[in-house]
Amino acid sequence: MSPFFMLDYNSRIEFSARNEPRGVGVHPHRGFETVTIAYHGAVAHHDSAGNSGVIYPGDVQWMTAGSGILHKEYHEAAFSKKGGAFQMVQLWVNLPAKNKMTTPKYQEVKHSDIAKYKLDDEAGVIEVIAGEYNDTKGSASTFTPLNLLNARLNKGGKAYFDFPAEYNTGFMIIEGSVKINGTEIAKTDQFVHFKNEGTAIEAEALENSIVLILSGEPINEPIAQYGPFLMNKPEEIQEAINDYNQGKFGYLDE
Protein backbone atom coordinates (compact mmCIF):
# COMPACT_ATOMS: atom_id res chain seq x y z
CA MET A 1 0.00 0.00 0.00
CA SER A 2 2.73 2.41 -1.10
CA PRO A 3 4.13 4.60 0.39
CA PHE A 4 3.30 2.44 3.45
CA PHE A 5 5.34 -0.76 3.22
CA MET A 6 4.30 -2.43 6.46
CA LEU A 7 1.83 -1.96 9.30
CA ASP A 8 2.90 -3.80 12.45
CA TYR A 9 -0.15 -3.75 14.71
CA ASN A 10 0.06 -4.73 18.38
CA SER A 11 -3.58 -5.13 19.41
CA ARG A 12 -4.41 -4.31 23.00
CA ILE A 13 -2.94 -6.77 25.47
CA GLU A 14 -2.36 -6.78 29.22
CA PHE A 15 1.29 -7.25 30.17
CA SER A 16 2.23 -8.55 33.60
CA ALA A 17 4.73 -6.64 35.69
CA ARG A 18 8.41 -7.55 35.40
CA ASN A 19 11.74 -5.99 36.31
CA GLU A 20 13.48 -6.75 33.02
CA PRO A 21 11.74 -4.73 30.26
CA ARG A 22 10.51 -6.60 27.22
CA GLY A 23 11.66 -5.25 23.89
CA VAL A 24 13.76 -5.52 20.76
CA GLY A 25 17.54 -5.28 20.97
CA VAL A 26 19.93 -3.45 18.66
CA HIS A 27 19.01 -3.85 14.98
CA PRO A 28 19.72 -1.88 11.78
CA HIS A 29 17.46 0.00 9.35
CA ARG A 30 18.10 1.61 5.96
CA GLY A 31 15.98 3.13 3.19
CA PHE A 32 12.72 3.97 4.97
CA GLU A 33 11.11 5.51 8.06
CA THR A 34 9.62 3.87 11.14
CA VAL A 35 6.60 5.60 12.65
CA THR A 36 5.46 4.33 16.04
CA ILE A 37 2.09 5.46 17.43
CA ALA A 38 1.25 4.73 21.07
CA TYR A 39 -2.31 4.07 22.26
CA HIS A 40 -1.64 2.25 25.56
CA GLY A 41 1.60 1.63 27.40
CA ALA A 42 5.01 3.27 27.04
CA VAL A 43 8.04 2.52 24.86
CA ALA A 44 11.61 3.80 25.24
CA HIS A 45 14.04 3.92 22.34
CA HIS A 46 17.67 4.71 21.53
CA ASP A 47 19.48 4.94 18.21
CA SER A 48 23.07 5.23 17.00
CA ALA A 49 22.56 8.86 15.97
CA GLY A 50 22.29 9.79 19.65
CA ASN A 51 18.50 10.13 19.75
CA SER A 52 16.48 8.70 22.61
CA GLY A 53 13.06 9.18 24.09
CA VAL A 54 9.91 7.67 25.53
CA ILE A 55 6.51 7.67 23.90
CA TYR A 56 3.36 7.52 26.00
CA PRO A 57 -0.30 7.12 24.94
CA GLY A 58 -1.04 9.61 22.15
CA ASP A 59 2.62 10.24 21.31
CA VAL A 60 4.35 9.45 18.01
CA GLN A 61 7.98 8.54 17.31
CA TRP A 62 8.99 9.26 13.69
CA MET A 63 12.46 7.94 12.84
CA THR A 64 14.03 8.39 9.42
CA ALA A 65 16.56 5.58 9.02
CA GLY A 66 17.76 6.93 5.67
CA SER A 67 21.35 5.93 4.95
CA GLY A 68 21.50 3.67 7.98
CA ILE A 69 20.93 3.61 11.71
CA LEU A 70 21.02 1.18 14.62
CA HIS A 71 17.93 1.14 16.81
CA LYS A 72 16.56 -0.54 19.92
CA GLU A 73 13.17 -0.21 21.57
CA TYR A 74 11.68 -1.70 24.70
CA HIS A 75 9.01 -1.18 27.35
CA GLU A 76 9.72 1.92 29.42
CA ALA A 77 11.11 0.91 32.82
CA ALA A 78 8.28 2.22 35.03
CA PHE A 79 5.61 0.72 32.76
CA SER A 80 7.44 -2.61 32.74
CA LYS A 81 7.58 -2.76 36.55
CA LYS A 82 3.89 -1.90 36.85
CA GLY A 83 2.49 -3.73 33.84
CA GLY A 84 -0.82 -2.90 32.21
CA ALA A 85 -2.51 -2.34 28.88
CA PHE A 86 -0.28 -2.10 25.80
CA GLN A 87 -1.34 -1.18 22.25
CA MET A 88 0.87 0.24 19.51
CA VAL A 89 1.17 0.66 15.75
CA GLN A 90 4.47 0.78 13.89
CA LEU A 91 4.49 1.77 10.22
CA TRP A 92 7.29 1.38 7.75
CA VAL A 93 7.03 4.34 5.39
CA ASN A 94 9.05 3.92 2.21
CA LEU A 95 11.43 6.60 0.94
CA PRO A 96 11.83 7.43 -2.76
CA ALA A 97 15.15 6.45 -4.35
CA LYS A 98 16.49 10.02 -4.22
CA ASN A 99 16.01 10.12 -0.44
CA LYS A 100 16.93 6.59 0.63
CA MET A 101 20.44 7.65 1.64
CA THR A 102 19.35 10.82 3.42
CA THR A 103 20.91 11.62 6.80
CA PRO A 104 19.06 9.82 9.61
CA LYS A 105 16.83 11.98 11.78
CA TYR A 106 14.26 11.70 14.54
CA GLN A 107 10.99 13.55 15.09
CA GLU A 108 9.40 13.39 18.52
CA VAL A 109 5.71 14.26 18.28
CA LYS A 110 4.10 14.59 21.70
CA HIS A 111 0.33 14.23 21.95
CA SER A 112 0.04 17.71 23.42
CA ASP A 113 1.72 19.13 20.29
CA ILE A 114 -0.36 17.25 17.70
CA ALA A 115 -2.64 19.57 15.71
CA LYS A 116 -6.30 18.84 16.38
CA TYR A 117 -9.45 19.63 14.39
CA LYS A 118 -12.67 19.63 16.41
CA LEU A 119 -15.59 18.17 14.47
CA ASP A 120 -19.04 19.75 14.49
CA ASP A 121 -21.91 18.49 16.65
CA GLU A 122 -19.60 16.97 19.30
CA ALA A 123 -18.71 14.25 16.79
CA GLY A 124 -15.14 14.05 18.06
CA VAL A 125 -11.71 15.26 17.04
CA ILE A 126 -9.24 14.56 14.24
CA GLU A 127 -5.59 14.51 15.31
CA VAL A 128 -3.33 15.45 12.41
CA ILE A 129 0.06 13.76 12.82
CA ALA A 130 1.18 14.40 9.23
CA GLY A 131 -0.46 15.92 6.19
CA GLU A 132 -3.63 17.92 6.76
CA TYR A 133 -7.33 17.77 7.50
CA ASN A 134 -9.61 20.71 6.67
CA ASP A 135 -6.60 23.08 6.53
CA THR A 136 -5.29 21.84 9.89
CA LYS A 137 -1.72 20.71 9.23
CA GLY A 138 0.36 18.14 11.06
CA SER A 139 3.82 18.93 12.40
CA ALA A 140 5.62 15.80 11.18
CA SER A 141 7.59 16.35 7.97
CA THR A 142 7.41 13.75 5.20
CA PHE A 143 9.39 13.04 2.04
CA THR A 144 6.33 12.28 -0.09
CA PRO A 145 2.73 13.53 0.22
CA LEU A 146 0.82 11.56 2.84
CA ASN A 147 -1.79 11.95 5.55
CA LEU A 148 -1.58 10.24 8.93
CA LEU A 149 -4.56 10.97 11.19
CA ASN A 150 -6.18 9.69 14.36
CA ALA A 151 -9.96 10.08 14.33
CA ARG A 152 -11.30 9.97 17.88
CA LEU A 153 -15.03 9.75 17.33
CA ASN A 154 -17.89 9.83 19.83
CA LYS A 155 -20.80 7.42 19.44
CA GLY A 156 -22.99 8.60 16.56
CA GLY A 157 -20.35 11.05 15.38
CA LYS A 158 -19.48 11.31 11.70
CA ALA A 159 -16.27 12.35 10.00
CA TYR A 160 -15.73 13.04 6.32
CA PHE A 161 -12.51 12.59 4.41
CA ASP A 162 -11.46 13.48 0.88
CA PHE A 163 -8.26 12.05 -0.58
CA PRO A 164 -7.09 11.97 -4.21
CA ALA A 165 -8.26 8.80 -5.97
CA GLU A 166 -4.69 7.78 -6.79
CA TYR A 167 -3.66 7.88 -3.10
CA ASN A 168 -3.56 4.52 -1.35
CA THR A 169 -5.85 4.72 1.68
CA GLY A 170 -6.60 2.49 4.65
CA PHE A 171 -8.29 2.70 8.06
CA MET A 172 -7.04 0.74 11.08
CA ILE A 173 -9.78 0.38 13.70
CA ILE A 174 -7.95 0.83 16.98
CA GLU A 175 -11.02 0.88 19.21
CA GLY A 176 -14.79 0.65 18.80
CA SER A 177 -16.61 0.14 15.51
CA VAL A 178 -17.48 2.36 12.56
CA LYS A 179 -19.74 2.26 9.55
CA ILE A 180 -17.92 3.16 6.33
CA ASN A 181 -19.79 5.02 3.57
CA GLY A 182 -23.10 4.00 5.10
CA THR A 183 -22.68 0.30 4.33
CA GLU A 184 -19.64 -1.63 5.59
CA ILE A 185 -19.05 -2.07 9.33
CA ALA A 186 -15.47 -2.31 10.61
CA LYS A 187 -14.72 -3.36 14.18
CA THR A 188 -11.79 -3.20 16.59
CA ASP A 189 -8.58 -4.69 15.16
CA GLN A 190 -9.90 -4.75 11.59
CA PHE A 191 -8.29 -2.96 8.65
CA VAL A 192 -10.20 -1.30 5.80
CA HIS A 193 -8.37 -1.03 2.47
CA PHE A 194 -10.04 1.28 -0.05
CA LYS A 195 -10.10 0.89 -3.80
CA ASN A 196 -8.61 3.72 -5.86
CA GLU A 197 -12.07 4.83 -6.95
CA GLY A 198 -13.64 8.13 -5.92
CA THR A 199 -12.33 10.49 -3.29
CA ALA A 200 -14.96 10.93 -0.53
CA ILE A 201 -15.20 8.71 2.57
CA GLU A 202 -17.71 8.88 5.43
CA ALA A 203 -17.02 7.24 8.79
CA GLU A 204 -19.79 6.98 11.41
CA ALA A 205 -18.93 5.79 14.91
CA LEU A 206 -21.32 3.10 16.18
CA GLU A 207 -19.70 3.50 19.60
CA ASN A 208 -16.86 5.62 20.95
CA SER A 209 -14.09 4.78 18.50
CA ILE A 210 -10.50 5.48 17.49
CA VAL A 211 -9.50 5.09 13.84
CA LEU A 212 -6.00 5.46 12.41
CA ILE A 213 -6.21 6.85 8.87
CA LEU A 214 -3.41 6.31 6.34
CA SER A 215 -3.47 7.88 2.91
CA GLY A 216 -0.56 8.67 0.65
CA GLU A 217 0.68 9.18 -2.87
CA PRO A 218 2.26 5.93 -4.08
CA ILE A 219 5.98 5.76 -4.84
CA ASN A 220 6.07 4.07 -8.23
CA GLU A 221 9.56 2.62 -8.03
CA PRO A 222 10.96 -0.92 -7.82
CA ILE A 223 11.27 -2.41 -4.33
CA ALA A 224 14.03 -4.67 -3.01
CA GLN A 225 13.58 -5.67 0.63
CA TYR A 226 15.52 -7.93 2.96
CA GLY A 227 14.92 -7.91 6.71
CA PRO A 228 15.35 -4.35 7.96
CA PHE A 229 16.56 -2.95 4.62
CA LEU A 230 14.18 -1.44 2.05
CA MET A 231 15.85 -0.38 -1.19
CA ASN A 232 15.23 -0.35 -4.95
CA LYS A 233 17.74 -2.91 -6.27
CA PRO A 234 19.14 -6.23 -4.96
CA GLU A 235 22.68 -4.88 -5.18
CA GLU A 236 21.67 -2.04 -2.85
CA ILE A 237 20.54 -4.64 -0.32
CA GLN A 238 23.94 -6.32 -0.51
CA GLU A 239 25.60 -2.93 -0.08
CA ALA A 240 23.49 -2.28 3.02
CA ILE A 241 24.51 -5.64 4.51
CA ASN A 242 28.17 -4.93 3.78
CA ASP A 243 27.98 -1.45 5.28
CA TYR A 244 26.29 -2.82 8.40
CA ASN A 245 28.93 -5.53 8.81
CA GLN A 246 31.66 -2.91 8.42
CA GLY A 247 30.19 -0.78 11.21
CA LYS A 248 29.07 2.09 9.00
CA PHE A 249 25.71 2.34 10.78
CA GLY A 250 27.41 3.55 13.95
CA TYR A 251 27.47 1.95 17.38
CA LEU A 252 24.79 1.35 19.99
CA ASP A 253 25.06 -0.51 23.29
CA GLU A 254 22.72 -3.43 23.84
pTM: 0.95
Walk across the sheet containing 69-75 and list its strands: 23-29, 69-75, 43-47, 52-55
Q: Whole-number mean pLDDT of the chain?
A: 97
Express each pLDDT in 146-192 by its tens digit. Answer: 999 999 999 999 999 999 999 999 999 999 999 999 999 999 999 99
Query: pLDDT band at residue 254, thresholds of 50, 70 and 90?
Result: confident
Q: What distance lies between CA 184 and its chain's CA centroid?
A: 24
The CA distance from 13 to 22, in Å, is 14
Nearest residue to 29 via CA among 218, 226, 224: 226
Instruction: Outline where the chain has alpha helix (H).
Output: 77-82, 234-245
Express each pLDDT in 71-80 by its tens digit. Answer: 999 999 999 9
